[in-house]
Amino acid sequence: MLLIITLVIFIAVALILWAIFYYFFAGKSAIQERLAKLTPQPDIKIERNEKENRFGKTLGSLGSKVPLSPKEHSKYAKLLVAAGFRNEHVYPFLGSKILLAILLPLLYPLYLVFTTIHGETFREALFKSQPIIVTVVLAIIGFLLPSYWLYYMKNKRQTQIFHTLPDIHDLLTVCVEAGLSLDAALLRVTETPQFAQDPLAQEIRIATRETRAGKPRMDALKDMAERTMVEDVKSFVIMLAQTEKFGTSLGKALRVHADALRTKRRQLAEEAAAKTAIKLLFPLAFFVFPALMVVMLGSAIVRILSIFG
């Protein structure tokens, strides 16, 4: 009887999940799209190239119901922009937190269905204190998991920007010393195939487009530094602003700043290398040395015990 109930619950949950995924992810078939194009439309609308993501809209509508202060909204927006996303993704991000906080606890009753043993019913196993605690913990983990993922993506992107900045400095210095203006040099840097997918080059490309649209160059670069949330990029923008303000040589300033960034990067690498010995101490003491002691002294101890036994 328990096997039949388990099978029925599994089939029902599988059908519900299939219906949800089909509703959110399945698009129109090729025949339906052709028929939709042949039907006359009363109003002419501009079609977007990207298909409408119903799942993202559902997450956005779910996240919009979360009471959020303007300070928290600004905080999440800055983190998302620093991680490489847009401001419009704040509500889908909040919706993913709520969705995971609901879905993860629902997996635990399914686990109890397949692991209920010793004649214990599913109801008795579900309403014990331990399953309730595990369900609450899973809900908390599901709510916090997108935040940890967002911080990981932000730190990864900032690290990539930090390591790319000296190379972009060198190319920018060469372009400026070759006679190009700062705007033309920034545009030339973004067109280099080496930095085609680099996040810093993408941010510089956005700043140059804003400058072309009529925004002051320093304001566009300051906004770029605020978006990346990297201190070295902020110092780079401050250096450019001071060079433009006081009329000093831009090539010399770029070369000195690039040397300072490379020195800082080398010092961070030396610091990480110096910490390696301390980080290896605990794994060696608790895992490697005991195994070596057993291998080297185990046979000798057994031999001594057999002699004196």
* 169-191 confidence digits (pLDDT tens): 888 888 988 888 888 888 888 88
Confidence of residue 154 (pLDDT cuts 50, 70, 90): very high
pLDDT score, position 48: 47
Q: 54-63, 143-152, 196-205, 231-240: which range is least confident on average?
A: 54-63
Q: If DSSP codes are grouped into helix, strand and coil, which group holds residue 180?
A: coil
Once rounded to an integer, what is the mean pLDDT over residues 204-212?
Answer: 91
- Report how far residue 121's alpha carbon sits from residue 125's, in angstroms, rounded to the nearest whole number: 6
pLDDT at 298: 80
CB contact at 8 A, 155 and 228 = no
Q: For residue 254, which of 162, 186, 193, 156 has the smallest C-alpha distance? A: 186
Summarize the confidence of residues 225-231 as an average pLDDT. 90
pLDDT at 44: 43
The pLDDT value given to residue 261: 86
Mean pLDDT (the chain) is 80
| Predicted TM-score (pTM) above 0.75 | no
Mean pLDDT of 140-164: 91
Tokens describing residue 285? 């003491």
Q: pLDDT band at residue 51, thresholds of 50, 70 and 90?
A: very low
CATH number, domain 159-265: 1.20.81
Is residue 236 over pLDDT 80? yes
Query: Percent of the chain scored above 70 by pLDDT?
Result: 77
Position 36 scores a pLDDT of 64
pLDDT in tens, 1-49: 556 766 667 677 777 767 666 665 555 555 666 666 666 555 544 444 4
Residue whose tokens read 């990346």: 228
Stretch among 25-39, 65-79, 286-300 having the lowest mean pLDDT: 25-39
- pLDDT confidence of residue 16: 78
Query: Which bin fits 247, alpha (ψ -120 to 50), beta or left (φ > 0)?
Result: left
First to last CA, the chain: 59
Euclidean distance between CA atoms 103 and 139, whole angstroms: 8
Confidence class of residue 151 from pLDDT cuts 50, 70 and 90? very high
pLDDT at residue 158, rounded to an integer? 92
On the question of pLDDT at 117 being above 80, the answer is no
